Amino acid sequence: MDLRTVIRSIPDYPKPGIMFRDVTTLLADARGFRRAIDELVQPLAGAKIDKVAGIEARGFILGGAIAHQLSVGFVPIRKKGKLPYKTIGERYELEYGVDEVEIHVDAVRQGEKVLLVDDLIATGGTATAAIRLLERAGAEVVLCSFVVDLPDLGGAAKLRAMGKEVVALVAFEGH
């Protein structure tokens, strides 16, 4: 099965000139979803992973399923103000401003090996902030996994330049 065939492409969303890659159709397809999770888990065969960290919101769905497969805990990386306990945060630049992601202060322990998961890597801003946040909290991010890479936007290359291994199941040229 080619996972590209179960990912919907929506032209001119959220603005003209953007081709939005919608993984909700992949999530709704039982075979496609299972295949994606299996392929995201496969590179970790034999690796020691302590936690899976998923970026809000589709990273929660994928990361939760991967954590279940690996029998490890899950860490939600959320937008500022969404977590109920004490948090640490990391700000990052957007095209038109600044945003921030947070985790609970006790989400990871010093030296834990963490897999970072999200549905898509575009410019890499959120993923870079998530890596910095997890590392400030004491974790070691050992792999960054995505269903979709938009290589023309340079996010995966940015993560690799940080010394991170990056896995994406499919790439779509252009954006």
Active site residue 90: no
| CA distance linking residue 97 with residue 93, whole number of Å | 6
CATH code for the domain in which residue 106 is found:
3.40.50.2020
Burial of 33 (0-12, 13-18, 19+ CB in 10 A): buried
Q: What is the pTM of this model?
A: 0.96
Residue entry with tokens 């990361």 = 63
Q: Which one of 4, 56, 91, 95 is the catalytic residue?
A: 95
pLDDT tens digits for range 101-131: 999 999 999 999 999 999 999 999 999 999 9
Domain that holds residue 95: 3-171
**How many distinct structural domains can be found in the chain?**
1
pLDDT tens for each residue of 39-93:
999 999 889 999 999 999 999 999 999 999 999 999 999 999 999 999 999 999 8
Q: List the catalytic residue out of 8, 34, 35, 58.
A: 58
What does the block give as tokens for 6?
């179960």
Does residue 35 have an active-site annotation? no
* pLDDT > 90 fraction of the chain, expressed in percent and rounded: 91
Q: Which amino acid is at 145?
A: S
